[in-house]
Amino acid sequence: MADEIKIVGVIGAGTMGMGICEVAAANDCRVLVYDIDESFARKSHDALSSRLKKRVINGKITQEQADNIVQAVKVVKSLDDFLVCDLVVEAVIENLEIKKQIFQQLESIVSENTLLSTNTSSISVTAIAAALQAPSRLFGLHFFNPAPVMKLVEIIKGLKTDDVHVQQAKKLCKRWGKIPVVANSTPGFIVNRVARPYYGEALKMYQEQMASAIHIDTVMSKGAGFRMGPFELMDLIGIDVNFAVSQTVFREMYNDPRYKPSLLQGEMVHANLLGRKTGIGFYPYDGGVKTTKADYLHSDAKFDQFIVPDDMTLLSRMFSEFEYDQRKWQGDKIIISGCQLLLSNGLTAKQIEQSDGMPTCLVDLSFDFMKAECVNLVFSPKVDVFMKNRIVALINHIGKDVLESQDQPGMIATRTLAMLINEAADAVFNGVCDADDVDLAMKYGVNYPKGLLSFATELGWQHVANILENLQCWFGDDRYRLSPYIRNQL
């Protein structure tokens, strides 16, 4: 059936609708596009043509490919023209009543073999399908913006969706060069649910005055390996848009504390500090450019011998570029000038020093320490200036910047990554999707460098559990409760 999809109808000629038109047309489909505002649809068609022209000039596609796409997309005046469609994708504004009305109308126009889908990003597919005489026909086809570029498509299964359609949608997405994942219709589906802690923990840390926005952003991007820090990303998305998604997910999860929106973010919306679009959000944008920089530590101190464990752990790999005669192998710890370097485990450096008596430097987590441009550290009280300088000098020597944070449990990236892993794990535990799909979704929907569950395996599930349990103990907050999925891995 997926091979037989030759004519696609798209409803809504906005950002997503036109992106989906381009994807279908670039893959040998004829596309009909309908918008309630016909003149807007014609403008959108012209804009598509100009965008493609630029891509021809930049050498991304040929003139012939551009012409074929433009010619394959036709604006129609009425939904009645969708009679010939094999598949319809609805991409109108995010409003349940409007979407229901559209599908009721469509059901009386198209043949019973036509596949019906919605690109909704937050409305229950089950709720939209309830308007249909045959609710089993409807599924979600959730593209990401910009649709022609982003590889991921979440296929959303409503409670009554027929699995045959899900399989057809999967095949079609593959034919269109996309990476499909399947999710049950639940708040935020996969990506918008699992990504919540990326913003939520950042906002909470900022509110707790643990670090500045630029400090957190630098740790998360240059240190942990995310493409963009949470605050610059929220400024880009729009503080109001991000806040609205957080509120929806919280409400629809019946006020589960894990999804509690930030008071500060609400205040920023009231103050019209919405990010790039209002010229100021977490950062001021001078002519669209963010100028703030993080405060790095630097040291030229001479470092002598240091100890690295024999077996390569996630952290010790960072020092593997040193020649053998520059270091000494021993035990299971990294020790620099008498100070132990440990991966953060959700305890403070002070707590660890109090329990084992050793001066302690905790290192914040990274997807890949070899690639990290910057390393975030905290020091326990017994770490003196001599030790600190040598640790900083050593890390500078291997070409990485150093940041120092306040000694708070879980630091910055460790706390965020543990919460993201917990969320991914819990989505699988609650049957939203399977483990492979949650990893694919975060890699291709929001460009995470690694899947969260596969990273947790690399890090060790026990370590993830320790971080979360220590955080829950410190904050006394159900927000950090461990997903039973993680307990099953121990």
Residues taking part in catalysis: 121, 142, 154, 192
As a residue count, the chain comes to 490
CB of 383 to ligand NAD, least distance (A): 46
- State in angstroms the smallest separation of the CB of 118 from ligand NAD: 7
Q: CA-CA distance, 360 to 377, in Å (whole number)?
A: 10
- Dihedral sign for Cα atoms in the order 163, 166, 170, 175: positive
Q: What is the smallest separation between the CB atom of 20 and ligand NAD, expressed in angstroms?
A: 9
As measured in angstroms, the least distance from the Cβ of 148 to ligand NAD is 13
CB of residue 188 to ligand NAD, shortest distance in Å: 12
Whole-number Å distance between alpha carbons of 287 and 279: 8
From the list 204, 134, 177, the residue with the least C-alpha distance to 25 is 177
Residue (12 or 197) nearer to ligand NAD, CB: 12
Q: How far is CA 478 from the centre of its chain?
A: 23
Amino acid at 197: P
- Closer to ligand NAD by Cβ: residue 41 or 211: 41
Neighbour-count burial for 306-322, b at 16+ CB within 10 Å, e otherwise: bbbbeeebbbbebbeee
Say if strands 328-329 and 7-11 run parallel, antiparallel, or are unpaired. unpaired
Centroid of chain to Cα 145: 13
Report the residue number, 28 or 37, with the smaller CB distance to ligand NAD.
Answer: 37
Which residues are near ligand NAD by CB under 6 A? 11-17, 35-37, 40, 91-94, 98, 102, 119-121, 143, 145
Closer to ligand NAD by CB, 17 or 225: give it. Answer: 17
Q: How far is CA 61 from the centre of its chain?
A: 29
Q: To the nearest whole angstrom, how small is the minimum distance from the Cβ of residue 291 to ligand NAD?
A: 27
Closer by beta carbon to ligand NAD, 248 or else 265: 248
* Closest CB to ligand NAD among residues 125, 273: 125
Sign, CA torsion 303/376/291/443: positive
The DSSP 8-state label assigned to residue 14 in this structure reads S
Distance of closest approach, residue 77 Cβ to ligand NAD, in angstroms: 12
CB 11 within 8 A of CB 92: yes
- What dihedral angle (degrees, nearest 10) is formed by the CA atoms of 251, 257, 258, 264? 80
- Measured CA distances, 415 to 223, 343, 364, 450, 486 (Å): 14, 12, 9, 17, 16
Query: From CA 446, how far away is CA 331, in angstroms rounded?
Result: 39
In the bound state with ligand NAD, the residue whose beta carbon lies nearer, of 123 and 425, is 123
Rg (CA), the chain: 25
| Cβ proximity to ligand NAD, 120 vs 380, nearer residue | 120
CA dist 52 and 69 (Å) reads 9
Closer to ligand NAD by CB, 123 or 335: give it. 123
Residue number of the CB closest to ligand NAD reads: 14
Listed residue (201, 175, 245, 255) closest to 423, CA to CA: 201
Minimum distance from residue 142 beta carbon to ligand NAD (Å): 6
Helices marked H in 30-86 — which ranges?
38-57, 63-72
Residues paired with residue 361 on neighbouring β-strands, in sequence order? 341, 379
In the complex, the smallest distance separating the C-beta of residue 261 from ligand NAD, rounded to whole angstroms, is: 19
The CA–CA distances, whole Å, from 199 to 102, 195, 420, 445, 490 equal 34, 7, 10, 16, 28
